[in-house]
Amino acid sequence: MRVGGAFRARWGRTGRAARWAAAGTAVALVGGGAAWGVGVTADRASRVETSDQRIAVVDGPRDDQRVTLDTTFYRPAGRADVPAIMLGHGFGGSKRDIADQARRLARHGYAVLTWSARGFGGSTGEIALNSPDYEVKDTRQLIDWLARRPGVRLDGPGDPRLGMAGGSYGGAIALLTAAHDRRVDAIAPMITWHSLADALFPDAAGAGPSDGVFKKLWASLFFTGSAGRTACGRFLPSLCEMYQEVAEKGRATGSAVETLRRSSPSSVADRIRVPTLLVQGQSDSLFPLDHADANARAIARNGAPVSVVWFQGGHDGGDPETERIEGLVLDFFDARLKRRPGAFDGGEFAVTRAGGLDSSTREVVVEEATARTYPGLSHDPVRLPLGGGEQTVYNPPGGSPASISAMPGLGSLGSGALGAFGPVGGPLAAERPGQFAVFDTRPLERPVRLTGAASVRLRVDGDGPLFAKLYDVAPGSGGAATGGTATLARRLAAPFRVSRGQDVTVTLPAMDHRFDRGHRLRLVIATTDLGFATPAEPASHKVRVVSPLTVPTVRALTTAPTPVPAWVWALPLVAVALALLIVLSGRRRPAPARPQDSDVPLEITGLTKAYKNGHLAVADLSFRVEKGQVLGLLGPNGAGKTTTLRMLMGLIHPDSGEIRIFGHRVSPGAAVLSRLGSFVEGPGFLPHLTGRDNLDLYWRATGRPLDEAHLDEALQIADLGSALDRPVRTYSQGMRQRLAIAQAMLGLPDLLVLDEPTNGLDPPQIREMRQVLVRYAAAGRTVIVSSHLLAEVEQTCTHAVVMAGGRRVAAGPVAEITGSGRRLEDAFLELIGETS
Amino acid sequence: MTTPETAPETPHATAPGPAHASPAEPEPEPAPVAASEAAPEAAPVTASEAVPSVTAYDVRRTLPLRVEAVRQFRRRRTLVAFGILLVLPWVLVVAFKAGGDPGTGGVPGLVDVATSSALNFALFALFVSTGFLLVVAVALFCGDTVASEAGWSSLRYLLAAPVPRGRLLRQKLIVALSYAVVAVVSLPLMSLLAGTVAFGWADVELPTGGTVPVSTALGRMAIIVGYALVSQLVVAALAFLLSVTTDSPLGAVGGAVGLVIVSNILDAVTALGSWRDFLPTHWMYAWMDALQPEITWTGMVKGAAVSTAYAAVLFALAFRRFRGRDIVS
């Protein structure tokens, strides 16, 4: 099934493991690439020169740690004075992951430096999580290195024109380096964090990370993903110990929060003053959209221009939109580094939205909506009352089974488009019975497009972490939250911690989601989530809402119509033009009529026809037939008789010469053919129709009035009796023959051409036929009979044309051809050169 | 084109006729000369020169559509094709009834919701027929039309009637396409009828989840059938081109079906990348884009562009080829 196949493809794609390691750059690993060493290889096809080198740096809190970084430098061949871009890789990756993107940027005129961060790939050192003491110092020394490279444009001594970009881990280093080093001129961080502490210990009630809910699944993937010789792999031992402590407790410690904050742009956001393009994923449970929002607001506060883009992908999977995002980044750098302001005019805010599924490409159609200004996450709110009174939810002992929202490492189940209309129930139930409370709005009277983070005020009697989620409930049968028509919007959950008896304002996950007319918004408060640490002791909470649901909207976001490729319009136009050319070219102009010949039934002059295989069927044939004649066309097999008659009917184009009937030149479909009745090379009837219907429909096809058909006379000649009303396929050869001659005589044409008319007829019928032909000509019409039965010609015809090898060998009255006292047979054999 | 010229009636006596006509035989009365010559430069047949006979020939009246439709309709081939298309929905109904509920679980597809309503059933019937059955039906009507006449030798008599070649093709094409349209439309219509009897009317359940009310769904159905027709144009055009090229009806029909098969095989070669967009069958299922809460038009627009572009060129080639061809069948 096509549709089924499409969905299988989607499920398979989102199920890819360890998506986050690729860190949103979503470029395929490039095989091979550049060789180790300092050899310079010029890629001729792309005109990009690459060189690999290990760059020694010194870092650490006391600047005493020596680390060598594995780097690759790409630059467009033959161009000097180009701006530079430093491209960082994602967590768990290396410089190789971003080789393709680097090459593409270089091809557009940038010197690109990629490096494996300390602790990754071929670089030495240990992972310090983008610490200002370690990684930031490393990148600053890479900038020093860049400034010394020939061909890199400098804004001042030691200050290259520099942009930084990268996804996730590589995005955070861009933000942090921009804060610590004034030489960075523009940054384009993707799917990265604002505060690592908030990302790993989120609290949607706004209490901060120290009491946040531990995002255990993501954290474990983060810290143990590179495990090697030690439990923490290449992490700094202090970081490893920190993780082990918080993972064991399931709660943040003060030192952990402090360490994570130092690795976060949030700690230095007031120092980032460069133009920034923030790209954040809508399928991202690790660094949700609110991290980009916090970064954007902090940088904008410093007076720097900021643009925010929400795309379909993210750490959970979804459409990476690689081409679109890379194009945006390139435009951004063109505008900021090459100082071409017109290159980037996307406005401050762009959201890509999943439209329908294109069943042919099996991909979701993604539309882009843009707004001039960045609206934030709580713009223009709509308040929707929530129904459902106080409900009690239970925390299961051991915190298991847990409800499921996003699945780190597996990608989110049904993220992206499928999340928008795929079933949520099925094999993986999202919610566990007894563990969740449900609050529904009324069915929407008009669609609501949520853009930002919805919020609601709750009163919870209890203590512990809870999870707030927003479902889209389609009208119909779906009753429970696990029903087939309730969809967890974006599969995101907002964890928050409550203390006894307190009202809390919970900010739900930020997203862009359209709730259709008739749908309901459903707030679900659950006690467990597989991705988070929840307490093991059983508990119960009474939950009720004390405010309407506040749903932010951004009406200024407008979607440009999805452009279709130019070929969609060009192709049919070109095709139609081509079609006209094909049809109109090579038309033959009909020759003018010769009125003075209009009483000459047939005149053939210089007629020649050679078939494609080279066989010369008719060569320079000329003869003339006068009114009232019965002309016999004689010749052995292959003499060209039938070819001549076919040309006479306009079925075959002569190579040269012409045929004129009553002065009009014969061409395919020439009107004068209406005065010709023909029976050539056997009958041609529709076998499924009766003889009568065949004649009737044939006559109707000629378009002439029925009363001109003289059908009765024709039928008399056919002499078929009752067989006339049987299908033709039941006829004998002779019956078809007679019917065909009758068809030729329909309308009593002025010129009647019959090819072997007596084949298959019995002697009385032959005799009858002979009389019919003689009488026909006697009425002032003309008959041409082609035959090899010489006796018949002798008895019927007044004139004869003898052909052999495509040529006329004799013509004239039959009596003249035979001479006196000779039989036609002798004369014929003599003429065609086979004298006995 | 035509310059009808009414000449004065020609008395029989002015025609030079030999006097030995047998009085026993029915002597046809010569028709009055109502000259109508198709060629613009053809001189009017003046009374003194005219042979008394039929001249009320008007190219615009040759091979009327009704006549061609009747010629084609009584063929067993036509009746069998329609028979299959009209019986298939009932066969499917029996299959669903006999087989019980479609399996649940796994990925959703049109088959899973086929029995939920008449419209769903019709969509399913269309889905299973688009790839092959409708292709064969369309190829049959368009591929057989000229080739079979050539096979029966009736083509040459039509052309000598004379039906000008361009007009013959035009009339045959209109009739063949009309039959193809009726065939493609009859399947969903009969499916609606069969589905109504078997499963009743209800909102359409989309395989992607959600439902569409009947009023909207009927409009969607019209879009789907319309697109299915447009996407089959390329098959029709190729079959028609083959039909004027070969004298074998089977060859023409088989050739067109073969193209669809080859195109589908190439379409499976993902290494071809975006080149597959220009394969004639790549967009054949794009009508399923209308089976979503919001219709996605891009696929259907692209498919229509590709199909009409191919069809225009192929039809043009058919006309060009038939015009210059020597009819030797």
**Which member of B31, B62, B317 has the closest CB to residue A702?**
B62
Provide the phi-psi class of A714: left if phi over 0, else alpha when psi is between -120 and 50, else beta: alpha
User: For the ranges A71-85, A108-122, A579-593, B22-36, which has the lowest average pLDDT?
Assistant: B22-36
Nearest to A583 among B152, B209, B316 (CB): B316
Ranges for all domains in chain A classified under CATH 3.40.50.1820: 2-194+264-371
> Which residue in the set B39, B57, B282 is minimally distant from A703, CB to CB?
B57
* Residue B204 confidence (pLDDT): 83
**Predicted confidence (pLDDT) at residue A772 exceeds the cutoff of 70:** yes
Strands A520-526 and A111-115, how do they pair?
Answer: unpaired
What pLDDT, in 10s, does the model give residues B250-273?
A: 999 999 999 999 999 998 888 888
CA distance B295 to A82: 46
pLDDT over threshold 50, residue A423: no
With tokens 């080639």, the residue in question is: B317
What does DSSP say about strands A464-473 and A486-488: parallel, antiparallel, or unpaired?
antiparallel
Instruction: Report yes or no: A469 and A495 within 8 Å, Cβ to Cβ.
Output: no
Query: Which tokens sit at A272?
Result: 């980032």
Mutate one of B20, B70, B104, B107 to test the A interface: name it (highest A CB count within 10 A). Answer: B107
Of B61, B70, B308, the CB nearest to A572: B308
Q: How far apart are CA A294 and CA A286, in angstroms?
A: 15
**Over residues A729-739, mean pLDDT:** 91
pLDDT at A226: 60
- Using DSSP's 3-state secondary structure scheme, residue A472 falls into strand
Name the CATH code of domain A381-556 (choices 3.40.50.880, 2.60.120.260, 1.20.1340.10, 3.40.50.1100): 2.60.120.260
Please give the pLDDT value at position A155: 92
Sequence-separated (6 or more) residues with CB below 8 Å from residue A257: A197, A201, A209, A210
Question: Tokens in use for A434?
Answer: 């007894």
Q: Does the structure show a pLDDT above 90 at A508?
A: yes
Of A155, A67, A54, nearest to A118 (Cα)? A67
Q: Identify which of B76, B90, B59, B43 has the alpha carbon closest to the alpha carbon of residue B187.
A: B90
Q: What is the pLDDT of residues B43-52, one digit of tens each?
A: 333 333 333 4
To the nearest whole number, what is the mean pLDDT of chain A?
A: 84
CB B206 within 8 A of CB B116: no
Cβ separation B161–A681 shorter than 8 A = no
Under an 8 A CB cutoff, do A701 and B63 touch?
yes
CB A8 within 8 A of CB B207: no
What pLDDT, on the 0 to 100 scale, is given for residue B256? 94
Q: How far apart are CA A402 and CA A433, in angstroms?
A: 10
The Cα–Cα gap between A93 and A22 comes to 6
3-state secondary structure A142-182: HHHHHHHCCCECEEECCEECEEEEEECHHHHHHHHHHHHCC
Dist CA A185 CA A111 (whole Å): 14
Over 70: is that where the pLDDT of A48 sits?
yes
Per-residue pLDDT of A274-331, as tens digits, reads 999 999 999 899 999 999 999 999 999 999 999 999 998 888 887 788 888 998 999 9
Greatest CA separation found in chain B?
Answer: 93
Determine, for residues A781 and B51 on separate chains, whether the beta-carbon distance falls below 8 Å.
yes
Name the pLDDT band for A414 (thresholds 50, 70, 90): very low
pLDDT above 50 for A20: no
How far, in Å, CA of A366 to CA of A563, rounded? Answer: 11
- What six digits make up the tokens of B271? 């290494």
Cβ–Cβ contact B156 with A under 8 A? yes
Q: Minimal Cα distance from A361: which residue of B?
A: B299
pLDDT tens-place string over residues A226-274:
656 667 778 888 888 888 889 888 889 999 999 999 999 999 989 999 9
pLDDT averaged over consecutive 10-residue blocks of chain B (329 residues)? 39 38 40 38 37 63 92 88 93 86 55 84 90 91 93 92 92 95 94 92 76 85 93 95 92 93 91 87 87 81 94 95 87
Share of chain A above pLDDT 70, in %: 87
Q: How many residues comprise chain B?
A: 329
Residues of chain A contacting B45 with CB distance shorter than 8 Å: 598, 662
Residues in CB range of A153: below 8 A, 6 or more apart: A81, A82, A83, A84, A160, A161
Model confidence at A790, pLDDT cuts 50, 70, 90, reads confident
Q: Fill in the DSSP letter of residue B19.
A: S
Let me know how many helices (H) and strands (E) chain A has, helices first: 20, 35
Q: Where in chain A is the domain with CATH 3.40.50.300?
A: 595-831
Interchain proximity A567–B305, CB inside 8 Å: yes
* Burial status of residue A597 (CB atoms within 10 A of its CB: 0-12, 13-18, 19 or more): middle
Position A133, amino acid: D
**Which residues neighbour A248 within 8 Å (Cβ) at sequence distance 6 or greater?**
none
Find all residues with CB under 8 Å of A293, minimum gap 6, and list them: A308, A376, A377, A510
Chains A, B: CB contacts within 8 A come to 317
| Contact (CB<8Å) A628/B17 | yes
HSE-up of B119 (CA within 13 Å, CB side)? 22
- Closest CB from A671, A688, A781 relative to B75: A688
Q: What is the pLDDT of residue A363?
A: 67
Would you give the distance in Å from CA A16 to the centre of its chain?
Answer: 22
Inter-residue contact A480 to A540 (CB < 8 Å): no
**3-class DSSP state of A351:** strand
For helices B214-245 and B118-130, the axis angle rounded to 10 degrees is: 20
Q: Where in chain A is the domain with CATH 2.60.120.260?
A: 381-556
Tell me the CATH number of domain A595-831, given options 3.40.50.300, 1.10.10.10, 3.30.200.20, 3.40.50.1370. Answer: 3.40.50.300
Q: Are B291 and B220 in contact (CB under 8 A)?
A: yes
pLDDT, position A432: 82
Inter-chain residue contact B301 with A627, CB threshold 8 Å: no
> Is there a contact between B211 and A476 if contact means CB atoms under 8 Å apart?
yes
- Could you say which of B49, B53, B60 has the minimum Cβ distance to residue A749? B53
The C-alpha R_g of chain B, in whole angstroms, comes to 26
Q: Cβ contact (<8 Å) for A671 and B37?
A: yes
The Cα A192–Cα A167 span in angstroms is 6
pTM for this prediction: 0.70
- The model's confidence at residue A476, banded by pLDDT at 50, 70 and 90, is low
Total number of residues shown for chain A: 836
Find the DSSP H helices in A489-640.
Answer: 566-584
Instruction: Please give the sequence-ordered ranges of beta strands (E in DSSP) within A282-318, or none if there are none.
Output: 306-311
Phi, psi of A252 (to 5 degrees): -75, 150
Confidence at residue B16, expressed as pLDDT on a 0 to 100 scale: 38
Sheet of A184-190, strands arranged across: A40-43, A48-59, A65-76, A111-115, A84-88, A162-167, A184-190, A276-281, A306-311, A349-358, A363-371, A558-559
Distance, CA of A651 to CA of A86 (rounded, Å): 75
A706-714's contacts with Cβ under 8 Å and 24+ in sequence apart are A708/A747, A708/B31, A708/B54, A708/B56, A709/A746, A709/A747, A710/A745, A710/A746, A710/A747, A710/A748, A710/B28, A711/A746, A713/A745, A713/A748, A713/B26, A713/B28, A714/A742, A714/A743, A714/A745, A714/A746
Q: How far apart are CA A181 and CA A139, in angstroms?
A: 9
Distance CA A110, CA A276 (A): 18
Question: CA-CA distance, B249 to B239, in Å (whole number)?
Answer: 10
pLDDT of residue A360: 60
Distance from CA of A639 to the nearest CA of B (A): 16
pLDDT value at residue A618: 93
pLDDT tens sequence across A566-590: 889 999 999 999 999 999 887 777 6
| Chain A nearest CA to B194, separation (Å) | 22
pLDDT of residue B210: 67
Residue showing tokens 């490409």: A361
Determine phi and psi for A626, rounding to 5 degrees: -100, 160
Give the separation between CA A396 and CA B262, rounded to whole angstroms. Answer: 59
pLDDT the model gives residue A184: 94
Nearest-angstrom CA–CA distance, B5 and B14 = 20
Q: Under CATH, to which class is A2-194+264-371 assigned?
A: alpha beta
